[in-house]
Every structure is written in C-alpha cells, then in structure tokens.
Amino acid sequence: MARAPYVDGDTQRANIASGVRRAIELEMSNAIRSAAKPSLEERVQTRREQRFETYLRGRLFDAEDRERRDLGYSTTPGSYLIPTLHFDELVMALVNASAVLPRANVWRSTSGAKGQFPILSDVSNTASVYTENTAITEGSPTNFGRVVFDECKTVSADSLFRASYQLVQDSSIDLWGIVREVFAQRVARWFDSYSLTDATNGLVPNTTNTVTSASPTSISYADLVNVNFAIDAAYRGSPNAAWVMNDATLKAITGLVDSNGRPILALPNQMQTTEVDTNNGTRKVPYLFGNPVISAPSMPTIAASARTIVLADLSRAGVARVVNDASITILRERFADAGELSAVGYARADWRSSGFAAAVLVQHA
C-alpha cells in the first residue's frame, strides 16, 4: 500500500487557509448573487406597476385575460387596483393634502365591511407609590371605547385627466404623478368636509364641549383664551392637537392682539417650528397659543349660531378609515370621437367621531 506523500506542517496550514478562503469567497459570491436577484414577490410587484402604467396610458393589453389578471381586479366593476407601492404613494399624497388626516388616528383596513375600532382615553388617571405588603387600591378603569363603522363609503373622482392618445402614449410625462396628486386632493377635500361637518359623523356637529362667543359676528381674544383652556391639558398638549378654521376666520383673528397690544397669532414668517410635508420637505404654519392653525375650507364662516373654530386632539377626537382598495378606470370610449382618454378614480374612506372630550369649539351667539 502506497504511502501518501509527506507534507510538512507549514504546507498543511497554508492549504487549510487557502481552502477556507475559497469557501468564504464562494459563500459571499452566492450571497451577493442571491441579494441581487429580486424575489418572486418583488418581480410580481414590478410587473404590476409596469402593467398599471400601460393601463393608465390607454394601451391595449397583449394576451388580454392574462395581463388583466396580472394587474388585479378591483371591487369597482371595470376598474383595476392601484399597485401596492403606488397606493402607498397615493395615501401619502392624500395625507399631505388633508387638514385632518396628518394628525388623525388612521385605520387602514383590508376591506370595507362593517367593523369596530377600539379607542382609548386615559387623561385623568395616574400611578401611585406601592407600599410593600399592602394590597393595591383599585382605581378608575381605563376608559376603553370603540367606534362602529358601517360599510365604508366609496368616493369617486372623475376626469382625473383628459388628454389625447398621442400625449399619454408617446410623451414621457409622469402620468401617475399627475393622477396621484389630482386624485389625492379631491378625496382630501371631500374627506375634510365630511369628517368636520357631516351632520351624523362630523366633528363640528357632534362636539358637545363648546364656548359661546361674546358676539354673533366676530371673534375676540377672550373667546380664544376660553377655548384654549376648555380642553384637558393632555389633549391640548398632544402633538396631534390643532386649531381648525376656514381662511375667512383665520383672517379675522390675524388682527387680534393681547392685553399688551401684541398679535396673538404667530405668523409663519415668525415661526421657528415647522411641520413636515413629505412632498415638499417642511412648511411653516401659523400658531395660536402653541398649537398649529390649519385652514379647512369646509369649516363654517363667522355668523350667528355658527360653529366656526375647533381646537382638538385629532388623534383622539375620532378615527379615520382608509380601505386598501383604490382603483382607476380608464375611459377609452367616452371621448373616442375626440381621440382622447379620461380616467375616473375610486377610493374608500370614512370617519367616526369618538365621543371623547378631545375637542372644543366656538359657538357663536
């Protein structure tokens, strides 16, 4: 039996080290190739985004049934779901365009069926020092509640764009970017109006904590001071607290001064504090008694018996619901005689006031 050739210790150690290096290099190479290769889910998502862009531009699909199946049907007949990434962009644009949503407690549900959402208010309880070998004293229970949603509303926004076949098919315009902004702004205007002023569910009609103004046709400094201290400090000091009013009311209080003759409203160019806007970086807003002032066109104008100003912790005053099902319908035939395409968008959103004392408003005499 032949003996194996003699290998000294240094050579053995060198061979072992070389083998280890090759194994490590092979493992790293495999890891890099694996990381560079997109997963099946990523490839499917990319394909849906590509097909959605094709659909937006009105191009007819190849292998129609297969391509439509790749795109994904919506619950709205004739429409197709906005892909996940684009839907997240749409929700972000919607939040930026809204007065209420940036601070609201938002429930993003997977369906629009009837449902309940738990809410919590615990502004009056506190902890206490525990004494050894002593039974604890039961305090007030945490104030859990719930808001009940009916089947979620479907909101439509028509004529998101109307353009010639040549423009949408041949140009390099960011068609989804245009559709997203127009769609978001229209839904945001509806949502703000509904969440603030709807007779059944809106914040303004359903807030019982009110401060009556001294005048039916104006706002005084004293009125605003009374409003500011008519809400619990925990709500007033929340990062989601804000004053909400329309532009006419904001203009009316801009000229108000305190007892020392100083303007009570800190205008944007006087503010060091900024609010984040995910589209435009940051923006400055006016502040009143330390909380931002938000302009909402749907808020009532100053008049006798009107409810014109709300101060609220919007994350506790109610719950916003957004269903993960927004869709686009491209109208190929309606304007075919003009050689044009148009689009209709559908989204599902809702609002319920919580019933907590997280809001106070000005009620004119």
List of residues 6+ apart from 147 with CB closer than 8 A: 116, 117, 119, 318, 319, 352, 353, 354
Mean pLDDT of 150-163: 86
What is the average pLDDT score of the chain? 79
CB 300 within 8 A of CB 246: yes
Residue 44 has a pLDDT of 59
Confidence of residue 149 (pLDDT cuts 50, 70, 90): very high
Best-predicted range by mean pLDDT (40-49, 133-142, 235-244) = 235-244
Per DSSP bridges, beta strands 287-288 and 291-295 are antiparallel
Closest CA to 241 of 275, 277, 198: 275
What is the structure's pLDDT at 306?
94
Query: Which is nearest to 223 in space by CA: 309, 281, 165, 305?
Result: 309
**pLDDT given at position 38:** 65
141 three-state secondary structure: coil
C-beta separation of 347 from 326 below 8 A: yes
For residue range 170-218, what is the model confidence (pLDDT) as tens digits? 767 777 788 888 888 999 999 999 999 999 999 999 999 999 998 999 9
User: Exposed e or buried b for every residue in 156-172, given b needs 16+ CB within 10 A?
Assistant: ebeebbebebeebeeee
Is residue 95 a contact partner of residue 101, using CB atoms and an 8 Å limit?
A: yes
**pTM for this model (two decimals):** 0.74
The whole-angstrom separation of Cα 296 and Cα 285 is 13
- pLDDT digit string (tens) for 288-324? 999 999 999 999 999 999 999 999 999 999 999 999 8
Helix (H, G, I), strand (E, B) or coil at 116: strand
Reported as type and span, the H/E element at residue 55 is helix 40-56
pLDDT, greater one: 70 or 274? 274
Strands 359-363 and 210-212 turn out to be: parallel
Domains of the chain, first to last: 39-121+153-365 (3.90.1690)
Q: For residue 115, list its beta bridge partners.
A: 149
